[in-house]
Chain A
Amino acid sequence: MTSRTGGGRVVRIVTALSLFLILCSGMACRNSGRTGKSGVMIDPQNLPRLDWAEIERLARGTTVNYGMWAGDEARNRYFRGPVTEDLRQRFGIELRIIPLGDVAETVNKLLNEKGAGKTNDGSIDMIWINGENFGTAKQGRVLWGPFAETLPNIGRYAAGARQRDFGTPIEGYEAPWQRAQFVMAWDTARFDAPPLDIPALIAWIRANPGRFTYPAPPDFTGSVFLRHLLYHYGGGPENFQNGFDESVYQRAAVPALALLRELRPSLWRRGETYPANPREVDRLFVNREIDLTMSYGPAFASERIARGEYPPTVRTFVFSTGTIGNFNYLAIPFNAANPAGSLVVINHLLSADSLLDQSRVLGSIFPLDPEKLTAEELGRVATLPRGPATLTAGELASHLLPEPDVRYLERLEKDWREKVLQP
């Protein structure tokens, strides 16, 4: 008897919940219909003919949902606070941060939404993206555009950053924003001089068994570490820029993968397992299980020192032959509910003033082309503060290598799993 009444209650609750959900979705539709009517939707084809002031007028009073990788607390605070406030005052735009674990998940979500026919009223208006994820998004046609070349502030980025992203033609589907460059870090309290080029690093790993590892590709930090070996054996980055060439790949990848395989017994846990991401590498470094760590963010060690996670004696370094760097970008999903608002926010984040502030607060590299800056702006760039472990902008710039075509990267990750990871 009791079980029957219990079952009845469950059915009633489920029915009520279903009704509630149906009603809610109906309301959401009506609500979003209103947003659409306020005229925020723009056909990208009309962009070149629209006056920028007109776009700013359309965007006033709207909300922009920004899908941002949320793994960095300082960054989250900065965007939730000063940036949001700035946008509110200047443009009357409300910025809402949608925290993301991984942009790849968002691209997957967009692909699924596209498959399910959700072509408008998407939950995200702009995303932070680059490289393989941009290639995937463009291949799956889930980006709104072309828009980037119509942004008033894009002209001060170097032409290269506006043309190709890991070899994928950009064609206006994303706007260059910030820059990243691979650096490694060591603790000067543990030893004096780090290995400053690839042969020295290899010798160091052999001489210090168990004290080095890298995140397992396809993690992007592990993947870029592999690409340095590809360049080392392939005669430098120049050979990897013009599309995919099997013979170029084989010449570099065969010795690179053979070396990584041969080095396995000298790695942390004898190369039987690898950390899944750079955070785990960091944990091992802090726990003194390994002695070198790596990152795509040149200021990462300074930030961790400031937070008390690293001892103040940690320093970063780049290889004498250079390290790989790239741009990251802002893009608009194909089903964004508020592309006009996104355009205004993106253009603002690309302005010299905003970028100087971002570099000051976050320690990021100032990304604009120095040749396109005024003397006054160059002066402000020169006085940007720099953390104790961060290399100077000049040191980084003079050691900057470009990314290879994305197909080299994908192939290398795949072959690593087959030829290095598997016993």
Chain B
Amino acid sequence: MLGPALGVVGGLFVGGVGVALAQSLGMLSPIGEVGPSWQHYLAILSAREFRVSLGWTIWLAGVATMIAAVMGLALALALRRLAKRSGLVNLVLQIPLAIPHLAMAVFLMTTLGPGGLLARLVYQVGLIGVAGDFPEMINDRWGVGIVLAYLLKELPFVTIMLLALLAREGRELEEQAQVLGASPWQRLRYVLLPILAPAALSSSLMVFAFIVGAYETPYLLGQTWPALLPVLAQQRYMDADLAQRPGAIAMAVILSFLTTLLVWLYLKVAERWSGAERPLLF
């Protein structure tokens, strides 16, 4: 019964990765280059643009993920009683989930951009003199716009995952601990956090892997230099010069490899730190 489903997933995923590997080695070339050779990998790894971009990508994805995880944890703990009483909490949290990343990016551009709603508002009120004085948050040097867009999308996601878990398993155990005389701190440290840790880990892993590979948000909200890696790879893939394509695909392959590696490392560390069972994802 699972055959067709596995066939589709296996064919598309494994086949896709296989073709990507072959193309990054200069095989299956539309201009008759014959591989395999490592030259495209070597060329990319020696280019400063790629290295800066790679570091910037991992840094921004890491920052966004960390903030989403920590704030999600805090939010879920703070809202757990309220969410039980009223479905409104879940409803409000679900609204951002239904908004595509693209729409979120455009929303931020039109509200927080230098000519956006907020800038016009503070200009009208007289807080700033010229429109250009509004703090740069879109296409800015520090990636504020990108992180903000991802937070608006991923924070509710993490919170919902954790709230669901607390609703299912948290209450009874917490009450039992209370009956047995545990202090609020002890309940948090020995009951709630161990329940939440695996889900917090797996959801932040999903968030991290997603951000590292996503294109539209950094394309719209990012700076031209340094560009996030998906933007750089796409740009190179679309280059009119066909000789650039294997390099573009090599970037994507390196990115996939590093993501897998980072996720594995993260899991190892997290396992030791929390002593929890393995997160749901792996």
Closest to A268 in B: B132
A276 & B219 in contact (Cβ 8 Å cutoff): yes
Query: Is the beta-carbon distance between B139 and A410 smaller than 8 angstroms?
Result: no
CB proximity of B139 to chain A, nearest CB, Å: 5
Structural contact, A14 and B5, CB atoms closer than 8 A:
yes
- Does B223 contact A273, Cβ atoms closer than 8 Å? yes
Distance in angstroms from B279 CB to nearest chain A CB is: 18
Q: Is A287 touching B30 in the complex (CB atoms < 8 A)? A: no
Q: Is the CB of A422 within 8 A of B49?
A: yes
Q: Which of B250-274 contact A (CB under 8 A)?
A: none
26 A-B pairs within 8 Å (CB atoms) are namely: A10-B5, A11-B2, A15-B4, A15-B5, A18-B7, A102-B238, A108-B237, A115-B28, A132-B240, A136-B240, A136-B241, A136-B242, A140-B30, A216-B224, A218-B240, A272-B223, A273-B223, A276-B219, A284-B115, A287-B115, A287-B131, A406-B240, A418-B49, A421-B225, A422-B52, A422-B225
Residue contact B4 to A276, C-beta cutoff 8 Å: no
Q: How many A-B residue pairs have CB under 8 A?
A: 86
**Contact of A272 with B141 at beta-carbon distance under 8 Å, contacts A283-B115, A289-B114 already known:** yes
Q: Which residues of A contact B52 (CB under 8 A)?
A: 422
Task: Please report which residues of chain A, range 306-359, place their CB below 8 angstroms from some CB of chain B when the two chains form the complex.
Answer: none
Residues in B with CB closer than 8 Å to A108 are 237-238
- Bound CA span A417–B231, Å: 14
List the 5 shortest-distance A-B pairs measured between CB atoms, nearest first: A287-B115, A132-B240, A14-B5, A273-B223, A18-B4
Q: Mark B129-163, 1 if CB is under 8 A from A, else 0.
A: 00110001001110000000000000000000000
How far is B30's CA from A114's CA once the two chains are assembled, in angstroms? 8
Whether B179 sits at the interface, judged by CB under 8 Å, is no
User: How many angstroms from the CA of A114 to the CA of B29 in the assembled complex?
Assistant: 11
User: How many whole Å from A216's CB to the nearest CB in chain B?
Assistant: 5
- Is B235 part of the binding interface, using a Cβ–Cβ cutoff of 8 Å? yes
Q: Which residue of B lies closest to A18 (CB)?
A: B4
Inter-chain CA distance A218–B240, complex, in Å, is: 9
Q: A114-B30, A272-B223, A421-B224 are in contact. Are A218 and B239 (CB under 8 A)?
A: yes
Q: A289, B224: Cβ atoms under 8 Å?
A: no
16 extra interface residue pairs, beta carbon distance < 8 Å, beyond A104-B238, A114-B30, A273-B139: A11-B2, A14-B8, A15-B1, A18-B4, A136-B242, A218-B235, A269-B136, A269-B139, A272-B141, A272-B223, A287-B114, A287-B131, A288-B115, A288-B131, A289-B131, A423-B225
Could you tell me if B1 and A11 are in contact, using CB atoms closer than 8 angstroms? yes
Q: Does B48 sit within 8 A of A, measured CB to CB?
A: yes
Q: Is A388 an interface residue (CB 8 A)?
A: no
Contact of B115 among A289, A417, A422 (CB under 8 A): A289
Which B residues lie within 8 Å of A422 (CB)?
48-49, 52, 225
Provide the residues of chain A in CB contact with B34, threshold 8 Å.
none
Cα A422 to Cα B51 in complex, Å, equals 12
A132 to B244, CA, bound (A): 13
B31 interface contact, C-beta 8 A: yes
Is residue A2 within 8 Å, beta carbon to beta carbon, of the partner chain?
no
Shortest Cβ distance from B128 into chain A, in angstroms? Answer: 13
- Candidates B8, B131, B224, B237; contact of A18 at CB < 8 Å: B8
* Given contact pairs A136-B241, A422-B48, A274 touches B31 in the complex (Cβ within 8 A): no
Please determine whether A104 and B240 come into contact, CB atoms closer than 8 angstroms: yes
Within 8 Å CB of B224, what residues of A?
Answer: 216, 273-274, 276, 421
Q: With A and B bound together, what is the CA distance between A10 and B4 in angstroms?
A: 12
Residues of A within 8 A of B5 (CB): 10-11, 14-15, 18
Measured CB to CB, the residues of A under 8 A from B are 8, 10-12, 14-15, 18-19, 102, 104-105, 108, 111, 114-115, 131-133, 135-136, 139-140, 142, 210, 216, 218, 269, 272-274, 276, 283-284, 287-289, 406, 410, 417-418, 421-423
Name, among B2, B30, B238, the residue most crowded by chain A CB atoms within 10 Å (CB to CB): B30
> Which of B's residues lie within 8 Å of A, judged by CB?
1-2, 4-5, 7-8, 28, 30-31, 48-49, 52, 114-115, 131-132, 136, 139-141, 219, 223-225, 235, 237-242
Taking the nearest CB of chain A, how far is it from the CB of B177, in angstroms?
A: 28
Q: Kindly report which residue of chain B lies nearest to residue A422, judged by CB atoms.
A: B225
| Interchain CA distance A117-B267 in the complex, whole Å | 42
Indicate the member of B7, B31, B239, B240 with the most A CB atoms within 10 Å.
Answer: B240
A363 to chain B, nearest CB (A): 27
Q: Specify which chain B residues have a CB less than 8 angstroms from the CB of A410 in the assembled complex.
A: 240-241
B240 x A133 contact (CB < 8 A): yes
Q: B114 — nearest CB in chain A belongs to which residue?
A: A289
Q: With CB as the reference atom, state the residue of chain A lying closest to B4.
A: A18
Kindly state the separation between the CA atoms of A135 and B239 in the bound complex, as whole angstroms. 11
Contacts of A135 in B (CB 8 A): 240
Q: Distance (Å) between the CB of B28 and the closest chain A CB?
A: 6
A8 to B2, CA, bound (A): 9
Cα A108 to Cα B238 in complex, Å, equals: 7
CB of B118, distance to nearest CB on chain A (Å): 13
| Residues of chain B within 8 A of A19, CB atoms compared | 4
Q: How far is it, in angstroms, between the C-alpha of A131 and the C-alpha of B241 when the chains are bound? A: 12
CB distance from B167 to the nearest CB of A (A): 16
Nearest residue (CB) in A for B238 is A104
B130 closest partner in A (C-beta) = A288
A160–B88 Cα distance when bound, in Å, is: 68
Taking the nearest CB of chain A, how far is it from the CB of B92, in angstroms? 27
Let me know if B132 and A289 touch, CB within 8 A. yes
Docked pose: A8 CA to B5 CA in angstroms: 12
Q: How far is the CB of B123 from chain A (nearest CB, A)?
A: 11
Q: Which residues of chain A come closer than 8 Å to B1, judged between CB atoms? A: 8, 11-12, 15
How distant is the Cα of A132 from the Cα of B2 in the complex, in angstroms?
Answer: 46
CB distance from B114 to the nearest CB of A (A): 6
- Distance between Cα atoms of A142 and B30 in the complex (Å): 10
**Chain A residues whose CB sits within 8 angstroms of the CB of B225 once the complex forms:** 272-273, 421-423
**Residues of A contacting B219 in the complex (Cβ-Cβ under 8 angstroms):** 276
A residues in contact with B115, CB < 8 Å: 283-284, 287-289
